[in-house]
């Protein structure tokens, strides 16, 4: 069993420090950039060398590590420091493989995130980076679940991070993943067109096997590779049977609906299965779409559990939801990587 004891999040919303999930920050131009803090706890020369993914991750992780030394750092990120990666690639082409500086190269490896956190917190424990695109964060969670089963007296830091770089935006845009028309996040679900809007963020979690003082309990996780909505339905049915007790129901579905008309069928089939007694909330208008957006959703679920209610701006139906005990997150990335995560208070 995995209990979330503390969590932080840097996202396009006011999610760090003075948290406000009632009011939605609007973003134009199909890109939702993270609101970055001033990073006072990172030394300036170190900060200057960091790419955005590393910076956001360290910025989110360090406050959690002030009073706790985890027995492992487990990061999920599809791309890590993509901006540094293509900056280095561009130098290779532009300077025709001339004399290059290694800074961008070293920063570009996805494991630079977990490695910087270990460096800055002098942590030599277990350290790993899961990069399985839309299921990178889910595999990080699974890793922590296995560790806590083996070592119930330990605690771990789990994080999900990805950045918008102009480069991965270009690549995904060429592949048709973003909307052709310019869309504000406030009307993301009204477009009826293919594509979504880009997002980014870093969410970090301190997890243990013990319940005392915990924010939330992560009861189950499942992953699926398929493009068939009926297999998603079968997956949800199996997941419910495995993790919900008889008579228990999901109070809130946090749906990864992202405004892409081609993927609506996946979310609708899950809503249909859960029925009208389950409220449906959405979060991609807050976070934008990125491979580890499910980490934002887990942070949001923890915040809803702490505040004991879901803000109106996330709710699709009905307009209010209270007495939330069980939250199910269903997310999919690019229509072929799906996950279910069940959290309870």
Partner 1 sequence: MSRIFVTGMGMVSAIGNSIADNRHALMQGTSGISKPQFFSSKYSDIPMGEVKTDTESLREELGAWEQGVTRTMLLALKAFKEAIEDAEISFSSLTDETTSLVNASTVGGMCLTDELYNDANKHSNGSEFLASYDTASVSLYLQARYGLKGIINTINTACSSSANAILYGARLIKSGIARRAIVGGVDSLAKFTVNGFNALHILSSGICSPFDEQRNGLNLGEGAAFLILEREEDLHGKKVYAELTGYGNANDAYHPSSLSPNGDGPYLAMKKAVDCLPAGASMIDLINAHGTGTENNDEVESRAMLRLFKSPPAFVSTKAATGHTLGAAGAIEAAYAVLNLHHQEVYASLNFKQPISSTGLTPVLNYEKAALKNVMSNSFGFGGNCTSLIFSKV
Minimum CB–partner distance for residue 284 and partner 1 (Å): 21
Applying CB under 8 A, does 109 fall inside the site for partner 1? yes
Determine, following the binding rule CB under 8 A, whether residue 243 of this chain makes contact with partner 1: no
Q: Could you say which of 41, 115, 184, 186 contacts partner 1 (CB under 8 A)?
A: 115
DSSP string, 226-279: -S-HHHHHHHHHHHHHHHSPTT---SEEEE---S-GGGHHHHHHHHHHH-TTSE
Contact pick of 170, 210, 211, 322 for partner 1 (by CB under 8 A): 170
Say whether 189 sits in a helix, a strand or coil.
Answer: helix
Is 129 a residue that touches partner 1 (CB under 8 A)? yes
Burial class (CB in 10 A: 0-12, 13-18, 19+), 19: middle
Which among 8-16, 128-136, 197-205, 241-249 is the span making contact with partner 1, rule CB under 8 A?
Answer: 128-136
What is the DSSP annotation of 18-87?
A: S-B-SSPPP--TTB--------TTS-HHHHHH--HHHHHHHHHHHHHHSS---SEEEEE-SSSSHHHHHH
3-state secondary structure of 182: coil
For 149, the token pair is 């089963």
Measured over the CA atoms of residue 159, residue 160, residue 161 and residue 167, the dihedral's sign is positive
Shortest approach of partner 1 to residue 157 CB, angstroms? 12
Tell me the CB-side half-sphere exposure of residue 72, using CA atoms within 13 A: 22
Could you say which residues in the range 86-105 bind partner 1, by CB under 8 A?
Answer: 86, 88-93, 96-97, 99-102, 105
DSSP 101: -
Confirm or reject binding of residue 124 to partner 1 (CB under 8 A). yes
Enumerate residues 6+ apart whose C-beta is below 8 A from 275: none
One of 27, 65, 112, 157 touching partner 1 (CB under 8 A): 112
Applying CB under 8 A, does 50 fall inside the site for partner 1? no
> Cβ of residue 153: shortest distance to partner 1, in angstroms?
17
Q: Is 136 in the site for partner 1 (CB under 8 A)?
A: yes
**Using CB under 8 A, which of 10, 42, 142, 329 touches partner 1?**
142
Give yes or no for residue 127 binding partner 1 (CB under 8 A). yes
Nearer to partner 1, 103 or 272 (CB): 103
- Decide: is 132 part of the binding site for partner 1 (CB under 8 A): yes
Q: Does 69 bind partner 1 (CB under 8 A)?
A: no
Q: Identify the CA nearest to 201 among candidates 59, 335, 338.
A: 59
By CB under 8 A, name the binding residues for partner 1: 73, 78-80, 85-86, 88-93, 96-97, 99-102, 105-107, 109-112, 114-116, 118-119, 121-133, 135-136, 139, 142-143, 145-146, 149-150, 167-168, 170-172, 174-175, 223, 225, 336
């Amino acid at each position: 069993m995995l209990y979330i004891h503390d969590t932080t999040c840097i996202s396009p919303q006011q999610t760090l420090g003075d948290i406000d999930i009632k009011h939605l920050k609007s973003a134009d131009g199909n890109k939702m950039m993270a609101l970055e803090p001033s990073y006072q706890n990172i030394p300036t020369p170190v900060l200057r060398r960091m790419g955005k993914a590393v910076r956001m991750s360290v910025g989110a992780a360090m406050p959690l590590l002030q009073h706790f030394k985890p027995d492992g750092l487990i990061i999920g990120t599809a791309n890590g420091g993509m901006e540094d990666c293509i900056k280095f690639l561009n130098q290779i082409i532009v300077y025709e493989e001339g004399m290059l500086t290694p800074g961008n190269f070293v920063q570009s490896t996805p494991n630079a995130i977990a490695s910087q956190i270990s460096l800055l917190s002098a942590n030599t424990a277990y350290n790993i980076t899961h990069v399985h695109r839309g299921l990178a964060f889910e595999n990080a969670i699974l890793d922590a679940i296995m560790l806590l089963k083996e070592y119930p007296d330990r605690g771990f830091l789990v994080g999900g991070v990805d950045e918008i770089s102009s480069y991965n935006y270009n690549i995904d845009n060429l592949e048709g993943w973003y909307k052709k028309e310019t869309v504000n996040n406030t009307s993301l679900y009204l477009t009826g067109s293919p594509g979504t809007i880009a997002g980014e963020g870093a969410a970090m979690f301190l997890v243990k096997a013990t319940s005392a003082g915990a924010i939330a309990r992560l009861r189950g996780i499942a992953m699926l590779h398929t493009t068939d909505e009926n297999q998603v339905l079968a997956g949800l049915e199996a997941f419910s049977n495995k993790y919900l007790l008889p008579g228990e129901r999901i109070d809130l579905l946090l749906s990864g609906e992202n405004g892409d008309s081609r993927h609506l069928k996946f979310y609708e089939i899950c809503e249909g299965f859960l029925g009208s007694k389950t409220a449906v909330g959405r979060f991609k208008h807050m976070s934008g779409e990125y491979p580890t957006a499910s980490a934002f959703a887990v942070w949001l679920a923890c915040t809803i559990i702490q505040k004991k209610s879901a803000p109106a701006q996330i709710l699709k139906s009905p307009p209010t939801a209270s007495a939330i005990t069980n939250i199910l997150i269903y997310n999919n990335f690019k229509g072929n990587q799906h996950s279910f995560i069940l959290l309870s208070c």
